[in-house]
Structure formats: C-alpha cells, structure tokens
Amino acid sequence: MSENLQEATKQEDREQKRPTTRKVEPIRDKRVIRETLEALSQDRSPAGERRYLLFASGIYLGRRIGDLLRLTVGDVKGQDYLEIVEEKTGKHASLAINAALKKIYKERLQNRSPEEPLFMSPVKNRRTGRPKAIDKRTALRDIKAVAKVARLPEGYRIGTHTMRKTFGYWYYKTYNDLATLMTMFNHSKAEVTLIYIGITDDQLRAAFRKTKDLYED
C-alpha cells in the first residue's frame, strides 16, 4: 500500500472510528442528493428538523462532524460567513455560507435563540439544565436515518463523513479545482484528497470495467 493511500485510509479510520474495510463513500448521484433534501424537509418533528439541518450543513460546508456539532444557531443565523477553529487540527477556517444553505437557515432558525446548539439534543445538560448538542453517536444514527430516506443501494457504505466526502466529490467534479479543495480539507497531498473523496475509487472501477476485452484478439 502506498504511503499516501495509507495516510488517507488511516485519516478516515480515525475520523470514522470504523474498520478500514468499512470505508464510507460520497453520494455520487445529484438527483439522490436533491431528493433527499426534499424528503428531509418534509419531516417537521424535532428529530426530522435536526437531520435536515445536519445533512444540509454537512454537504454544503464540508466540515468534519466534530466541527459541525459545535455550531450554535448564532454562528449561522443571518450570517454570510462562518469562522471556526477545527477540532482536529486546531487550524482556523473561514467559510462562506452559500445562498442555498442561507435559505435553509432562514426558514428553519427564525424562532430559535442564537445561543442554542444548531443540532440540539432532546436531553438537556444535566449539570446546567441548558440545551446541549447531540453527540457523535447520535449524529451517526441521524445519518443512518438519512440513508433510509435517500433510498441508497443496499450495502452502500455511509457514515458521518459521507457528507464531507459528498461535498468534496461534487466540488471536484463540478469545478475540477483540486488545489482549492486540498486547502479546504487541509490536505498536503493531491493523492490523499482524491482517495479520500472517492475519485480514485471511480478511476479504478472504470479501469477494471475496461478489462472485459483484456484477452480478446
């Protein structure tokens, strides 16, 4: 295994806390993404609202789940930009909230207080009695619920990092701007980014499909 492949695999394994054989994938079908957003938007229960906000934030901001879960309503409500310090790296990141995501925040956060966690747990903090954010385990359950709404193929490997990978996959496919995507993800090597977002898998699968004629005259 190459050094860069090892690095990408270890990075995902650390972030997902899953065996390397369960590497999660991006959502490679734009229609599925649009239909999932639409379906999630129809569920007005507290859990449904949270899943809608979590999925939309994940695929439009491209952040790790730990960074998303630390957001408050005030961080994004009525804002054009989002400033964060990454939980994993300690590095500063300045993000623009695009028009699609701003519209979602405007519609869903108008009656919520700025100090509330953006992804609020139904259980309050035992010590303070104040609202608290969901944890990573709950976020994973939410994403598994999203996967059912999305009607992904049986066995499709999905996890909390699917949203970040989906952002990276479609940013690269749309703009072909690997250098900027590497900066967004704080990756130092192009190969790591391509492996991480699933482009290398696509290329390998395409190469294997061509082997049907390998032994023909």
What residues act catalytically? 64, 88, 161, 164, 187, 196
Residue type for 16, please? Answer: Q
**DSSP annotation string for the chain:** --HHHHHHHHHHHHHHTS-GGG-------HHHHHHHHHHHHT--SHHHHHHHHHHHHHHHH---HHHHHT-BHHHHTT-SEEEEE-TTT--EEEEE--HHHHHHHHHHSTTS-TTSBSSB-SSPPTTT----B--HHHHHHHHHHHHHHHTPPTT----TTHHHHHHHHHHHHHH--HHHHHHHHT-S-HHHHHHHTTHHHHHHHHHHHGGGGTT--
Phi/psi region, residue 124 (left: phi>0; alpha: psi -120 to 50; beta: rest), is beta
The residues near 175 (Cβ < 8 Å, ≥ 6 apart) are none
